[in-house]
Amino acid sequence: MRNAIVQFLLCGSLTFGIWMLLLCVYFHHDHVGDGQAESQEPASIWSLEKKSQPPISHGPGQTPGHPVQAERPNEDETKDLVGKDVKFMDAELLQGFTKYGFNTIISESLGTVRPLPDTRNEMCHRKHYPAQLPTASVVICFHDEEFNALFRTVASVMHFTPHQLLEEIILVDDMSKFEDLKEKLDYRLEKFRGKVKLVRNERREGLIRARMAGAARASGDVLVFLDSHCEVNRMWLQPLLAAVAKHRRTVACPVIDVIDPMTLEYRPSPVVRGAFDWHLRFKWDNVLSYEMEGPEGPIRPIRSPAMAGGIFAINRHYFNEIGQYDKDMDLWGGEHLELSLRIWMCGGQLLVLPCSRVGHIVKHNTENLTEASRALTRNNLRLVHVWLDEYKEQYLLKRPGLKSVPYGNISERVELRKRLGCKSFQWYLDTIFPELEASKGNR
Ligand SMILES: *[C@@H]1O[C@H](CO)[C@@H](O)[C@H](O)[C@H]1NC(C)=O
Ligand SMILES: *[C@@H]1O[C@H](CO)[C@@H](O)[C@H](O)[C@H]1NC(C)=O
Ligand SMILES: [Mn+2]
């Protein structure tokens, strides 16, 4: 369908193109709504668009009147935005959106570096970090990413990271097809020679295995995973490294600021914690008030039941010890929740560091929905069968269609869980995420 849109545009049928876009937007919404009723996994554009957009997003799944909702973009806002601007949309803009999921005209005009607003709380300015911190290997995987967005990700890391803390940036090209990501990228990365390594997969592995490939080549003390359409902000790395250095089993996430897909405006996000519902859909949740008590108040690290997606820091050896990722998961989706459960249930902790800020483009999905949906279903089933204990039945009961969906051999992961001596899912519910248990009735 995407090709059809492009062709029609080339023929000058702009009106038709706009209608198609509106239809796409409408269809996405429709799909999100339907997803819950069907036995198939919900195909939210947010959860699907994970490679590019880990469910670092917003609206769907949040309860109405949620205070966070007003401050974070949600799907309806995005729809309005697209709807409002659609009359100004020219063919190039539309083509960029279909190909990359955001406004590539602005992305090109911004170039490779731009000034960013300091979105941190004032108290962060007075915070000091140890002089001796571990070094970081920043791992960025990409597949057919827009050149400037990718390059800005790398350039912002180079710009806002103290040289001595950055062991390397490892770029993993997960079999991109776009021409500008080949020689042109090699050539442009020359200026970061010595710091940036580019690894190219021989076949499409999906985000999960691409990350593992990147991690396997890293030599820094701490692995820091980023999406390929981010801009890190000032002092982004020190809070993450300090948290990981303090407790080896701490996994540290920054606050994810919003980069608007239409305007590429960089906007602050409130400090929220990651959560999910009984459909395993990620959502943001309010920070419990006691988490913000004490002298540090609003800049205190927040315990988070789940991570949003692909942006976090973890001790490299610890990452290996707790079993990296499930290599039999496909493309993307579910792996961030699987890792979150594994961290908490197997003796680690997951924190959001309010003084660390990383901007992330809230991309629209550009992937093949059939394939993405299939991968998400498979990945979630693997998670459910390994980690959910008796709650597995509860998950499957509402989705009889999933009973016959194959999810591969999970014995290695079950073995891993035993070997690590992990606690039960009931313990996780009781101790880390009681709000999920409480929401059982209205799931
Ligand atoms: C999406 O993937 C499915 C299965 O691989 C394939 O049959 C279908 O043609 C693809 N759709 C598009 C639009 O590429
Ligand atoms: C699953 O994998 C394990 C080893 O990882 C193997 O021993 C076992 O036979 C496999 N099970 C099936 C049904 O293939
Ligand atoms: Mn993303």
Cβ of residue 412 lying under 6 Å from some atom of ligand 2: yes
Instruction: Pick the ligand that lies closest to the CA of residue 416.
Output: 2
Instruction: Pick the ligand that lies closest to the CA of residue 368.
Output: 1
Cβ of residue 368 lying under 6 Å from some atom of ligand 1: yes
Of 136, 143, 160, the residue nearest 220 (C-alpha): 136
Atom of ligand 1 nearest to the CA of 1: 13
Measure CA 74 to chain center: 16
The pTM of the full predicted model, rounded to 2 decimals, is 0.82
As a whole number of angstroms, the distance between CA 367 and CA 195 comes to 31
As a whole number of angstroms, the distance between CA 46 and CA 32 comes to 9
The contacts of residue 389 (CB under 8 Å, 6+ apart) are 424, 425, 426
- Residue-wise pLDDT tens for the chain (443 aa)? 445 444 444 433 443 333 444 334 433 333 322 222 223 333 333 333 333 333 343 332 222 223 333 233 333 333 344 444 555 568 889 999 999 999 999 999 998 889 999 999 999 999 999 999 999 999 999 999 999 999 999 999 999 999 999 999 999 999 999 999 999 999 999 999 899 999 999 999 999 999 999 999 999 999 999 999 999 999 999 999 999 999 999 999 999 999 999 999 999 999 999 999 999 999 999 888 888 888 888 999 999 999 998 899 999 999 999 999 999 999 999 999 999 999 999 999 999 999 999 999 999 988 899 999 999 999 999 999 999 999 998 888 888 899 889 999 999 999 999 999 999 999 999 999 999 887 775 44
Cβ of residue 409 lying under 6 Å from some atom of ligand 2: yes
Residue 31 alpha carbon to ligand 3 centre in Å: 20
As a whole number of angstroms, the distance between CA 414 and CA 392 comes to 14
Of 299, 240, 301, 295, the residue nearest 119 (C-alpha): 299
Domain boundaries, the chain: 91-133+230-361
DSSP annotation string for 12-44: T-HHHHHHHHHHHHHHHHHHHHHHHHSSSPP--
Supply φ then ψ for residue 320, to 5 degrees.
Answer: -70, -40
C-alpha distances in Å from residue 133, one per residue of 120, 237, 238, 303, 346: 21, 10, 8, 22, 25
Atom of ligand 1 nearest to the CA of 368: 1
Class of domain 91-133+230-361: alpha beta
Supply φ then ψ for residue 174, to 5 degrees.
Answer: -85, 65
Rg of the chain on CA atoms, in Å: 21
**Helix, coil or strand: residue 232:** strand
Residue 411 alpha carbon to ligand 3 centre in Å: 30
Cβ of residue 370 lying under 6 Å from some atom of ligand 1: yes
Quick check: 287 and 275 in contact, CB under 8 A? no
DSSP annotation string for 245-291: HHSTTEEEEEEEEEE-TTT--EE-----EEEE-TT--EEEEPPPGGG
